[in-house]
């Protein structure tokens, strides 16, 4: 692949999970995190919230790199009509896992690809369902000894300590991690970026 093609795509995120997913899909890109204030008021329509945040992140970077394609993404967890974004602290993280314990929730991810020069703005959302095991405080503490919940929507990640907290899931595994890679790669392929 030419260096020109390698440098066409920017990931507007510092998420190590999104970086790993894109790399594992063989996509060439560089990382320039967006410096934006995300909208976290998505209780009524979480998919619209993550789509808007993905567009906001992609737009912020794309406006500064007008000839480049920029990929933005945002993920949230939704339960009982409320979004669970990244926890404020460890106490908040523990409260989130208690709330998710023994329940099924929905994970929404929004993905946006933008290019200022061509006027491209393509955005989509993906949802998956996750059912948690019943968790007591000792189990939550055990999980937190393995996983740092503070940088994860809903205070958990499906890729580590899965058997401790997750009973089952329906839908895209990579969506639950923070980037639905099959759908993202298909979008990138349409624009000859993958």
Question: Which residues are known to be catalytic?
Answer: 74
The residue count for the chain:
194
Q: Residue 146, class by beta-carbon neighbours within 10 Å (0-12 exposed, 13-18 middle, 19+ buried)? A: exposed
Residues sharing a CB contact under 8 Å with residue 169, sequence separation 6 or more, in sequence order: 128, 129, 130, 131, 158, 176
CA dihedral 81, 164, 167, 131 (to 10 degrees): 0
Residues near 4 by Cβ (< 8 Å), separated by ≥ 6? Answer: none
Q: End-to-end CA distance of the chain, in Å?
A: 10
Instruction: Write out the E strands in the chain.
Output: 9-11, 30-31, 69-79, 82-84, 104-115, 120-132, 166-170
């Amino acid at each position: 692949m030419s260096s020109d093609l390698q440098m066409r795509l920017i990931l507007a995120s510092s998420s190590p999970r999104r970086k790993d997913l894109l790399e594992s899909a063989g996509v060439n890109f560089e990382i320039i995190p967006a410096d934006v204030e995300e909208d976290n008021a998505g209780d009524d329509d979480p998919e619209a919230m993550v789509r808007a945040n993905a567009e906001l992140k992609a737009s912020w970077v794309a406006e500064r790199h007008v000839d480049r394609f920029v990929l933005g993404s945002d993920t949230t967890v939704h339960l009982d009509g409320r979004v669970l974004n990244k926890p404020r602290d460890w106490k908040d993280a523990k409260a989130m896992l208690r709330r998710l314990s023994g329940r099924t929730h929905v994970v929404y991810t929004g993905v946006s690809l933008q290019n200022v020069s061509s006027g491209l703005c393509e955005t989509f959302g993906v949802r998956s369902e996750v059912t948690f095991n019943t968790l007591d405080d000792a189990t939550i503490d055990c999980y937190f000894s393995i996983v740092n919940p503070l940088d994860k929507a809903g205070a958990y990640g499906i890729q580590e300590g899965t058997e401790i907290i997750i009973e089952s899931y329906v839908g895209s595994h990579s969506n639950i991690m923070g980037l639905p890679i099959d759908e993202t790669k298909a979008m990138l392929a349409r624009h000859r970026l993958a």
